[in-house]
Amino acid sequence: MTFLRDPIDRLISNYHFLRTRSPLSRYSEAALQAARSLSFKDFLLCDDRNVRMITANFQSKALAHDIRPDFLDETMTGALLENAERNLGTFDFIGICEYFDDSIHVLSEMLGVELSAKKLNVNPDRRFTEPTAEELDIARSLNGLDIQLYGKARSRFERIYLSRSAPGSFHSPAGALGGSV
């Protein structure tokens, strides 16, 4: 079981989490310092490998078991996406964060038990300036693999959910910034 999130929304959220609420760890130190000292645009453009680990194709790297803080060179791109897609295909359930409640409902049906879930990692103070068109373009360019992977996972979820749901009960997520267009 895994959950995926719209890659652009995940990146924006992660930036603000690092700026405001993230505890310091060896893993997050460079990204935390960058997020706290840089604008969102400069954070996206930061060349530090430990920052780029978070800003570029994070979900694809995590699913491909390649979370190393290295730049993705062009020769690795196909293999990374291929490994991430193959590994994603081994999950019996792939939830979508933008459909969190619906995902829990589908998972409950699949398991034959009524599940309830608390949203523990939600920023209660999600007040920030919306990213500019330029920042969104940069974020999309850094997350092309994640956008592809998320699009496939979301489509799979929608097919599974629609096949299990009563007509008209499917709820489209509220205005995600939509890295998967």
Domains and CATH numbers, the chain: 2-120+130-164 (3.40.50.300)
pLDDT one-digit tens code per residue, 37-69:
999 999 999 999 889 888 999 999 889 876 665
- 123-126 own/partner pairs: CB under 8 Å, 24+ apart: 123/13, 123/16, 123/17, 123/20, 123/21, 125/20, 126/13, 126/16
Q: Is the pLDDT of residue 167 over 50?
A: no
The whole-number pLDDT of residue 50 equals 87
Token match 């530090």: residue? 48
Give residue-wise pLDDT tens across range 111-139: 999 998 887 777 666 667 889 999 999 99
Q: What is the pLDDT of residue 67?
A: 63
Q: Is the model's pLDDT at 171 over the cut of 90?
A: no
Residues 145, 80 contacting (CB under 8 angstroms) = yes
Residue 44 in tokens: 């996206």
Res. 164 pLDDT band, cuts 50 70 90:
low
Average pLDDT over residues 137-161: 93
Q: How many Cβ atoms sit within 10 Å of the Cβ of residue 1? A: 11
Are the beta carbons of 53 and 31 closer than 8 angstroms? yes
Residue 113 or 21, more confident = 113
77-107, pLDDT tens digit by residue? 778 899 999 999 899 899 999 989 889 988 8
